[in-house]
Each structure stands twice: as structure tokens, then as C-alpha cells.
Amino acid sequence: MSSVIDGKSVAATVLEECRAEVLELKARGINPGLAVVLVGEDPASQVYVGSKVRTCGDLGIHSQKIVLPASTSQEELVAVVRELNADPSIHGILVQSPPPKHIDEEAVVRAIDPRKDVDGFHPENVAKLALEDKTGFVPCTPAGCMRLLAAAGVKTAGAEAVVIGRSMIVGKPMALLLMAKGSDATVTVAHSRSHDLPAICRRADIIIAAVGRPEMVKGDWIKDGAVVIDVGINRIEDPSKKSGYRLVGDVAYDEVAPKCSAITPVPGGVGPMTIALLMKNTLQAARQLGSATS
């Protein structure tokens, strides 16, 4: 039987750590601030941005929510980012992904001051992660997955870890974190061109599913006793729900759970961790920028 890794409870612990750190920073005269920029009206992004701002409020972190129309030009968005770079009340800047199609997301990320890049997407922070330089920002979702593994008592050293998905937001940084010194896993990164994904997964002691395909990982892909972290948050139609949809992960939970030693649910697994680690990163930015200027 598997144990269910309760992301809400682990996230609550992280948020309590943050609450204490906010007080400590404020006592030193540093008032942490996060700006969240949303371009367009993607319904899922609206929900995520709302939760990020609400969580800031709960912790006493100053937040600024900037909602721009879908017609916003690349230049206008970069101008907003530059203003936030120059704003001393803002320590963290996040532009919610994905932006509308006409926006060059990479150029926007490069415009963010790397010292305020709490998403950890700027090339400087990507490099720092690869170099294991702890002054950089680690992307929130993979950092949250690592914290879930630790909270569940999962030993990563020497383990076979399979990351499904090679995105810059999750797959690549996840692989770097798992292989870093101290984690010491043997890491395989699988993706849409990988041959025989089920066979690759059957080798894994730890599977991180981050492909964005509803319930793709099946029960017979899982080695007995493996640990499964499901990063997927997919909306699928469900007429029995008031909203008309329900959320499922990238893992076929009902088939997979009985074979695992531990698994994260969707919702209530990785999702709450992403926000909690964003708060951590914002406080890291405030601490680093605060000590640089005081």
C-alpha cells in the first residue's frame, strides 16, 4: 500500500518557516515585496496568480498584482518589467507563464533583474543551478518536489530517478536538483521522443511526471515500491462538476497508487508547494537585496 504525500501539509510547514522569516526581515527594516504580472485572461493563470497574491497577504509580504490586456506588446511588457527592476519596494518579479503567443517569453525573462528573478528562469539563475551556486534562485515547482521527497523520507542518494518532461520550468531543473551533490540520484530525463517510455519508467525508484498529458503514466509502468511525484495539473471535462471540469495529474492515480510506496495526489500534492517555494524565493531575494543595499 502506498502512502499519500500530503502537499498541503508540507506546504503549510514551509509557509510557517516563511512567516517567521518575514518577521525577522521586517525587524531588520526589510519589507519583502513580490510583483506578479499577468498578461491576458487565461483562466488557470488567473487562479494561480490569485493564490500567489493571497498567500503573500497571509504572510505579511507586500504584493503588487499587475494585470495587462492580452493585446499588450512585447515592448510594453518589457517596460513594465524594467520599472519593477528599478522599484526598491519589489524584491521578486514573476511574469505568469504562458503569456499570449505574440510575446517572446525568453526575452521577457532576460529583462528581469536576475537578483529579482524568483522563478529562477533567467539564464544567470539557470547557470547558478547547474553550478550548484546557492545564491541563485531554484525554480519553485522542482524545489517543491525536492522538499516533498525529503518530507516523505525518500532517500535519493544512488536511486534511479526518471524525470518525464524536459521543460525549463520543471524537467530540466528537476534533473539538475536530483543529480546535485547531496541528492546524488542517477537521473534519466525522458521526453516525447524517448523510445519505450514504459520500460524507462519501470527502472525508476523515483518518477517525476511533468509532461502535461492527463493520466499518461500507467500502473504497469511502475516498479513495485517506487515513489511517484505527479507535477501535472490538467483540466479534463466532467459534466458532473459545477465548473464542468476536474483536475487530474499526468499519472493514472488509481492504477499507479497501489504499486507505489508513496505518491502525490492531484490536487493537493505538488500544487501547494509551488506557491510555498515562491514565497521562500521572495524572502531569499529580499534578504540578498536587503543586505546588498543596507
Residue nearest to ligand GUN (CB): 97
Q: Which is nearer to ligand GUN, 94 or 176 (CB)?
A: 94
Residue 36 CB contacts under 8 Å (≥ 6 apart), including other chains: 49, 52, 53, 63, 64, 65, 66, 94, 96
Dist. CA 247–CA 236, nearest whole Å = 6
Please indicate whether residue 119 is annotated as part of the active site: yes
Q: Which is nearer to ligand GUN, 162 or 170 (CB)?
A: 170
Residue spans of beta strands (DSSP E) within 114-268:
160-164, 186-190, 206-209, 227-230, 234-237, 245-248, 262-263
Please indicate whether residue 6 is annotated as part of the active site: no
Q: Which is nearer to ligand GUN, 141 or 282 (CB)?
A: 141
Q: Which is nearer to ligand GUN, 30 or 118 (CB)?
A: 118
Please indicate whether residue 52 is annotated as part of the active site: yes
CB 139, min distance to ligand GUN, A: 6
CB 258, min distance to ligand GUN, A: 30
- Of 119, 205, 230, 250, catalytic: 119
CB 119, min distance to ligand GUN, A: 5
Chain residues in the site for ligand GUN (CB under 6 A): 94-97, 119, 140-141, 169, 274
Q: Tell me the CA distances in angstroms from 17 to 14, 59, 87, 149, 277, one per residue in order.
A: 5, 10, 26, 18, 11
Cite the active site residues.
52, 96, 119
